[in-house]
Copies of this chain bind each other. A is one copy, B any other.
Amino acid sequence: MEKTILKVQGMSCGHCVIAVEGSVGELSGVERVLVDLKVGEVAVEYNPGTVTLDKIKETIDDQGYDVE
């Protein structure tokens, strides 16, 4: 299991939290995902054998947010 913290721009309200946590949390191999709205960060715990970090970033991007 790996942990990473992504800087994500554009998350501005509770709906954004739901969109990001919901979509990333549904990915197979993602154990935990937590959005910190104030600092614009997404903490993810995942199994790198099942899901790639690129896939996680792509999923956030698909919700309309910029991953730095």
Chain B proximity of A59: nearest CB distance (Å): 16
Q: Which of A17-63 contact B (CB under 8 A)?
A: 18-19
Q: How large is the interface on A (under 10, 10 to 19, 20 to 34, 35 or more residues)?
A: under 10
Considering only CB atoms, which chain B residue lies closest to A14 in the complex? B64
Q: Which residues of B contact A64 (CB under 8 A)?
A: 14
Chain B proximity of A15: nearest CB distance (Å): 3
Q: Which residues of B contact A16 (CB under 8 A)?
A: 13, 15
Query: Can you give 11 A-B contacts (C-beta < 8 A)?
Result: A10-B13, A12-B12, A12-B13, A13-B13, A13-B15, A13-B16, A14-B64, A15-B15, A15-B16, A15-B18, A15-B19
CA separation between A15 and B10, bound complex, in Å?
A: 12
